[in-house]
Every structure is written in C-alpha cells, then in structure tokens.
A = this chain, B = another copy of it.
Amino acid sequence: MEIERVDAGITDVDGVYCCGVKEGKYGLGIVKCKGKVAGVFTLNKIKAAPVIVTKEHIKGGEIEGIIVNSGNANAFTGEQGIKNAKRMAEILAEKLGTDPSKIAVASTGVIGVQLDMEWIEKTFEAIFPKLDSSRESSHNFAKAIITTDAFTKEYAVKTGDVIIAGVAKGAGMIAPNMATMLAFIFTDADFDSNELQEMLKIAVDRSFNVTVVDGDTSTNDMVLLVATGKKKVDRGIFQKGLNEVCINLAKMIARDGEGASKLIEVYVKGAKSEEDAFKAAKSVVSSILVKTAVFGNDPNWGRVVAAIGYSGAEVDEDLTLILEGDGESVILVDRGKNMDTRKKAKEIMRNSKEIKFIVDLHKGNAEGYAIGCDLTYDYVKLNAKYTT
C-alpha cells in the first residue's frame, strides 16, 4: 500500500479535537483524544516536572487528553513544579470527566521559574470551549506550543484510509529556557499501547534521535503517539508511515535550527553494522567544523572524514565520499583517493539549500543517516545575545 503525504492537521484524525492560544511569550494548547498512547522522553537526568508526571500517567497505556504550555518549562522547579504539572492534568481531566492519570502534560520555555498557574487556569477556562475538530484549531494548537520556532511544524500522511498526523515544536536550544523538542502524533489506526511503544521507539530513533541542531538534550523533550483505534492497518505499513511523519517533522526542526541557512543530510552505507552507520552519520552532523564549513560553502571533506574517524564506527582511509546538492553531485574522495573536485563541490554548495554527504565505508552492508543544519553567525548571535 502506498503512503502519501496529505494536507491535514491533527484534528483530521477521527476522535481528535483541539484548541490553542498564544499570548506573547506564553501559549496553551489542549487536545481531547481518547485512545491508546505511547511516549518517548528526554534522557537528560534532570527531567522537568511534566516529563515525570506524563511518564507516570501514560503507564496505563490510555489517555483522554493532552495539555501543553509554552514559555515556561516547569523544569528545575522542585516539589511545587510537580504539584503544578499535576494541577494542569487535573483541570483538563475535570472538564473531560476523567481521571487526571489519563491526561498527558507537556511544557517548554524558561527553566527554574514556577509556572504562572493563575494565567494557565484562566486561559484554560477561556479556550476550552473552543475545543473542536476544525483545521483552524489544529493550527492554533501548533502555534500555541512553539517558542523560538520560525514556523509551525505539521506533517501528515495517509495509507489507505488511515491517517497519521503530527505536530512538533523545536529549533535547537536557543536557551534551555526555550529548549525543548515536543512532538504529538495522532492516528485513527488500531494498535495496543505496547505495539505503539515499539513502533514509536523505532520511528524516533531514526528521526528525532538522529537530528542534531546543537547536540544539547533538553530537560523537557517528549514525543507522544496516540491511536484512536478506529481503523485496522498492517503494522509494517503503519511503521513506514509513522517513520515518514517523524523524519519530516525532524527535518522541519533542523531547517528551523537557530540561524540555520542550510539543511545537512548524511547517508552512510557500506557500514559493518547499522549502529556504526548511524554513529558515523551522527558524528558528521554534530561536528561544528562540518557545520561551519557548510555555512561557508567550503567543501572541506577532511572535516567530514575526521568526524567519521572519531565516531567510533569501524572505518579506515578506504572510504568513498560524495557531495550532493540541489540536483547535482560530485565525488570528493574515491576509495581513499582525494579526487581534487573542490572547485565543482564549492559551486554545488553555493547553489544548494540542502547539502547531502553520501559516505560508503566499504566495510559491510549496513546503512544509516542523520539530519542537521549549518552553524551561522546568526546562531552565535541568537544564542549569545539571548538574555535570561
């Protein structure tokens, strides 16, 4: 069965209703979505209160709603922070006539400051009546959860009559205050929460987890997948569709990387293991030397090779490296030999907004990839000038 991108919001998923509002730096979004749930959370040892609360709440495998605020991460906020996150779950649970343990809570914004619960409760009361399945509400939710993002991030696919629609926020860590990567993905497919968890883990490992803007992991990162269970679909097909949604949301985050001017993709093949392939690819997109070289349209393949060399993957000089730009490509290194193609490569880089490095390690058959962006003056400016 084919997977095709569709122009749809999360409310196009049968059983999903939402609303959202942004007031200056602060935003609040609500989703009503009775279904099975799976979640992947930050590995940062310092976890924000909403992460702790939501991990606990989704253990039962079912939720009925999600409440998200932006502008304040509710991180590094101690006992009071936990109380506030629980209170957010409570106010939505009350309205939906369910238990707070059926509500997921997410936050993004400033670290170390207590939530303004008065604003949250007041705003919640004001927007809850707007909960509906309109496309506008879907977009309002997408806007409510962004912080320093330059644009909202929505992506949806269909396979047969099953829809998978996601919304995300994230643009690198402009400040831990504005740190977080959040994604909420909805489908009308029918899977139990264990199946969803397994599939989400695979999709996240191959998308958000191989996307590097600045390499920092926030205290608040969270990806949720909710299935309203209206339709049956083959698991293999669903996994593909889910991967596609996650990869495209991840690319939007990389493209929106603070100050970024170019998207960088790295494909590694011929690796001894899949682990090696992903390690090598991630090492290249994480290298700030590669990132600055791409910004400067400098086909400095030595930096790419060095990053592969220290990635931990099995590799030696006998590798092949191809540069691909918008519609053109050139071999930089052929089985260890410098091809002296820098001039052509520079031209391709200059003309391209999306740069791909394709590496063949000639060590085996495994493949992997990673997504990133360049490092620009604007990145430094944004991050140095941000005042806490």
Write the residues of chain A forming the contact surface with B, with a CB cutoff of 8 angstroms. 43-46, 75-76, 78, 110-113, 173, 175-177, 179, 214-219, 287-289, 292-293, 295-296, 298-303, 305-317, 333, 336-338, 342, 375-377, 379-381, 383-388
Taking the closest CB of chain B, its distance from the CB of A44, in whole angstroms, is: 4
B214, A298: Cβ atoms closer than 8 Å: no
Chain B residues positioned under 8 Å from A301 (CB to CB): 112, 388
B111, A44: Cβ atoms closer than 8 Å: no
A388, B300: Cβ atoms closer than 8 Å: yes
Q: DSSP class of A's interface residues: helix, strand, loop or mixed?
A: loop
B76, A298: Cβ atoms closer than 8 Å: no
Chain B residues positioned under 8 Å from A311 (CB to CB): 45
B173, A289: Cβ atoms closer than 8 Å: yes
A388, B44: Cβ atoms closer than 8 Å: no
Give the interface centre of A45, A214, A302 by most chain B CB atoms within 10 Å. Answer: A302
A44, B175: Cβ atoms closer than 8 Å: no
Task: Say whether, besides A43-B310, A300-B176, A305 and B111 are in contact (CB < 8 Å).
Answer: yes
How many copies of the polypeptide does the oligomer hold?
2
Chain B residues positioned under 8 Å from A110 (CB to CB): 302
CA distance A257 to B165 in the complex (A): 45
Taking the closest CB of chain B, its distance from the CB of A207, in whole angstroms, is: 19
CA distance A353 to B160 in the complex (A): 62
CA distance A115 to B174 in the complex (A): 43
A305, B176: Cβ atoms closer than 8 Å: yes
Chain B residues positioned under 8 Å from A179 (CB to CB): 302, 306
B175, A296: Cβ atoms closer than 8 Å: no
CA distance A173 to B306 in the complex (A): 10
Taking the closest CB of chain B, its distance from the CB of A49, in whole angstroms, is: 10
A309 nearest in chain B by CB position: B46
A296, B177: Cβ atoms closer than 8 Å: no
B219, A309: Cβ atoms closer than 8 Å: yes
Task: Say whether, besides A46-B309, A306-B217, A296 and B176 are in contact (CB < 8 Å).
Answer: no
Q: Which 7 A-B pairs have the closest CB atoms?
A: A296-B384, A176-B302, A46-B309, A111-B302, A292-B383, A112-B338, A44-B309
CA distance A44 to B173 in the complex (A): 28
CA distance A253 to B375 in the complex (A): 22
A338 nearest in chain B by CB position: B112
CA distance A215 to B215 in the complex (A): 12
A46 nearest in chain B by CB position: B309
A340 nearest in chain B by CB position: B112
Taking the closest CB of chain B, its distance from the CB of A103, in whole angstroms, is: 24
Q: Which of B78, B173, B219 contacts A336 (CB 8 A)?
A: B78
B387, A381: Cβ atoms closer than 8 Å: no
